[in-house]
Chain A
Amino acid sequence: MRLEIGNIMIKDIQFASKTEVKASTLYIDKDALISAVSGDDRLKSIDVELVRPGESVRITPVKDVVEPRVKVSGGGGIFPGFLSKVDTVGEGRTHVLKGAAVVTTGKIVGFQEGIVDMTGPGADYTPFSKTLNVVVIAEPKEGIKQHEHEEAVRMVGFKAAKYLGEAGRDVEPDSVDVYETKPIFESAQTYPNLPKVAYVYMLQTQGLLHDTYVYGVDAKKIIPTLLYPTEVMDGAVVSGNCVSACDKNPTYVHLNNPVIHDLYKLHGVEYNFVGVIITNENVYLADKERSSNWTAKLAEYLGLDGVIISEEGFGNPDTDLIMNCKKITAKGIKTVILTDEYAGRDGASQSLADSDPSGDACVTGGNANMTIVLPKLDRLIGHVEVVDVIAGGFDGSLRADGSIEVEIQAITGATSEVGFNKMTAKTY
């Protein structure tokens, strides 16, 4: 499967009378955008604001971040199972409005939504302080259930990204990256002397607003299976999560999964990157056992020599991470695990809820419990009063002077467990 990603570099975003990309600027017809994402009678109002890096803006509670993409050629369409039919994606060409992002906010859905600061110390911790953000503010009607609220806002984000992505359909990309993964036997023949590696991609599926979808299927209900890496780039995997903001994977991060992109970098040189095993993180023990048995079985079946395993979330999923690591290692396959830490505000506690000697190669996104003071910013989008109750916040987080003190857990993407961020933790 071969996919060309055409990157259309976006350097500014502006409201205009027509939605289009011209000279690296994304012009947005605000009314047309709102009309494109409207129609869900569970939502009371939808508004859009534009935010740029360096501006004195705080967005909270951030639910999801989505990258505008459009499928130019190849089968299927973007976000299969949601906005497109369930045709297999990952082939042909996809255009990306690189540098732009849709950020969804509005009244809080769950407790675990994030903060994005576009400037100041908080900006260093979130990747989305560096993107040009089209902030969609979706307010729910009174009385709707939280899971309905979540679904409604999730769909608004996807629709906005699809609508904006369409503007890039006929634009000549600034650069084209090609990603190709061959069928397994062909791949093994192409690189007979290289070790075979795969990516074990753990998806957050603890349920109750902790969900991820694959081709429209709730990933709680899958058993581990295989994807071509490029399928992910067309939106085969999307977020439906209200998990702690620091280490959940927003849809933007799924689309740009850094483990997939970085595994491609040395593919054919140091190893043969043969594909992606997706698995889940269900809360029942039988599910954990079954899924980790299956990841190990698939890893063995593919004849792998090594895997990178990434976690999503913490605590309960730590056990899934360790079970995957242990069982895959027991098959004689080398493992590297990607996680983050909850070592307490003082950093003195044990960082994971589970551990095993087989996890001897671990990359960490940092300690999510570290606290930070975020100064008052000029403009607030969303509902800042939620910082007292979101995960990582605490009673008194919001101070009288407008500054807030929170754990970095509350900052969207701060301790990414797919390694999207440039942070680690060291022992002092």
Chain B
Amino acid sequence: MAKARVVHYINQFFAGIGGEEKADIKPQVLSDLPPISVQLNKLLGEDAEIVSCVVCGDSYFNENLDQAKTEVLALIKTTNPEFVIAGPAFNAGRYGMACGTVVQMVEKELSIKAITAMYEENPGVDVFKKDILIVRTSDSAAGMRKALPAVAKFALKCIAGETLLEPDVEGYIPRGLRVNAFTEERGSMRAVRMLVQKLKGETFKTEYPMPAFDRVPANPAVADITKAKIAIVTSGGIVPKHNPDRIESSSASKYGKYSIAGFDAISEADHETAHGGYDPVYANLDPNRVIPVDVLRDMEKSGEIGSLFDYFYTTVGNGTSVANSVKYAAEIAKDLLANNVDAVILTST
């Protein structure tokens, strides 16, 4: 049997072209396979072969979505593949979005099977997991040694058209599809056993995890905004120039609380963004675009709001886990209350 023809889609970084400064490169086919594709090709062995590697800058892809999709699709199509592998994207958000888009588009437009690989908290997972198969990886490229063999093994299984077992067994991220299965024991006995485990304080495995949304009901409208003390909280990464507390550009392990007392507006001279998940140019040129200090000062002067709180709170939302976000929010909320803040403007990017 001839080897299955596979196209590998990656971003500028994994192609060895460059980092953020090259994130705007247009879709192209690499004449020589980059090391990551060579390695993946080796792992695919006798049954499949990477026939081409398509590269696109993450910024270009996400900012020119329609055009990028058309261009990437055309490049993939020229080599007439039977399968497409995108990534792994680990926890890179824009790369994950691109990989998810490519896989979905290839399956829909070309009717070719495709897979990608990501860390479970990559924003691309939330957006695409229902529709596509995503191999589970660690959160950074340091996990490459484990990720590539897993991707290759899973790809071969898909290419062969084998029936996929449960996600935990196969190592892919559940699509959230409920599939019926017959069991050894009837439901009532399973319930009795689960109750015994629960009574004993043992671990038990629910058969249907309740969708538990962390719903936060919105507060009632501020009664009199002209008397209210208002604070700014952001996940957009705005920090004093040179990022004194070294808040990480991704997967932030902390948040900062910084004074804006005496600032009529913030500027390029005194503030910048620490966020590594978006093009920082416009945020750095005018940080008020992320936290609207300038407008709020105007409103404070004209009496439209009571006052602007002397401090703002900031972290980087990029790749930051839900658990950490919840922790920061709880601490920030406590501090806001202690300072008699009446209302908060939350900004993201």
Contacts and interface: CB of A to CB of B under 8 A. Distances in A.
Contacts of A323: none
Interface string A336-349: 10110101001110
A229 to B, nearest CB: 13
Contacts of B42: none
Interface stretch (B57-65, B193-201, B292-300): B193-201
Contacts of B194: 336, 361, 363
Contacts of B183: 422-424
Contact of A422 (B164, B185, B195, B210): B185
B178 interface: yes
Given A258-B186, A306-B198, A338-B188, 19 more contacts: A258-B187, A259-B191, A271-B195, A338-B191, A341-B208, A346-B177, A347-B179, A348-B177, A360-B210, A362-B207, A362-B208, A416-B187, A418-B188, A419-B188, A420-B188, A423-B182, A424-B190, A425-B178, A427-B176
B177 A424 contact: no
Contact of B210 (A343, A348, A356): A356
Contacts of A362: 206-210
A426 B210 contact: no
A187 interface: no
Given A346-B177, A362-B210, A197 B195 contact: yes
Given A338-B187, A361-B198, A362-B207, A124 B178 contact: no
Contacts of A419: 186-191
A357 B208 contact: no
A259 B189 CA distance: 7
A422 B212 CA distance: 27
Contact of A266 (B167, B177, B181, B192): B192
Nearest to B198: A334
23 contacts: A124-B182, A259-B192, A265-B192, A271-B199, A306-B199, A334-B199, A336-B194, A338-B187, A341-B178, A343-B177, A346-B177, A351-B178, A351-B208, A360-B206, A362-B206, A364-B208, A419-B186, A419-B187, A422-B186, A422-B187, A424-B181, A425-B180, A428-B177
B175 interface: yes
Of the four ranges (under 10, 10 to 19, 20 to 34, 35 or more), the interface on chain A belongs to 35 or more
B130 interface: yes
A350 interface: yes
B182 A348 contact: no
Counting chain A CB atoms within 10 Å of each CB, the highest count among B175, B183, B185 belongs to: B183
B184 interface: yes
Interface in A226-272: 258-259, 261-263, 265-266, 270-271
B36 to A, nearest CB: 29
Contacts of A258: 186-189
Interface string B148-185: 00000000000000001011000000111111111111
B45 to A, nearest CB: 27
Nearest to A269: B196
Contact of B211 (A262, A308, A355, A408): A355
B129 to A, nearest CB: 11
Given A356-B210, A427-B178, A422 B196 contact: no
Contacts of B190: 363, 419, 424
Nearest to A261: B188
Contacts of B185: 422
A124 to B, nearest CB: 7
A344 B194 CA distance: 27
Interface of A: 124, 195, 197, 258-259, 261-263, 265-266, 270-271, 305-308, 310, 334-336, 338-339, 341, 343, 346-348, 350-352, 355-357, 359-367, 370, 408, 416-428
A193 B236 CA distance: 57
Contacts of A408: 180
A330 to B, nearest CB: 16
A425 B191 contact: no
A324 to B, nearest CB: 14
B263 interface: no
Nearest to B170: A428
A311 B206 CA distance: 16
A423 B178 contact: no
A338 B194 CA distance: 11
Contacts of A417: 187
A425 B187 contact: no
A334 B209 CA distance: 16
B258 interface: no
A263 B179 contact: no
Contacts of B180: 366-367, 370, 408, 423-425
Contact of A421 (B186, B204, B209): B186
A262 B192 contact: yes
B207 A420 contact: no
Given A356-B210, A427-B174, A363 B199 contact: no
Given A306-B195, A334-B199, A361-B194, A428 B164 contact: yes
Contacts of B206: 360-362
The 5 A-B residue pairs with the shortest CB-CB distance, nearest first, are A419-B187, A419-B188, A258-B188, A347-B178, A343-B178
Contacts of B199: 195, 197, 270-271, 305-306, 334
A350 B211 contact: yes
A361 B193 CA distance: 11
A25 B252 CA distance: 74
A336 B198 contact: yes
A346 B210 CA distance: 19
Contacts of A263: 192
Contact of B181 (A343, A355, A416, A426): A426
Most chain A CB neighbours (cut-off 10 Å) among B130, B178, B210: B178
Interface centre among A351, A365, A425, A426 (most CB of B within 10 A): A426
B174 A308 contact: no
A421 B179 CA distance: 16
A261 to B, nearest CB: 7
B174 A428 contact: yes
A258 B187 CA distance: 9
B176 A348 contact: yes
A370 B177 CA distance: 11
B203 to A, nearest CB: 11
Contacts of A347: 177-179
A267 B183 CA distance: 23
Contact of A336 (B184, B195, B209): B195
A79 B194 CA distance: 32
B179 to A, nearest CB: 5
A420 B130 contact: no
Most buried by A among B192, B206, B212: B192
A350 B130 CA distance: 12
A271 B212 contact: no
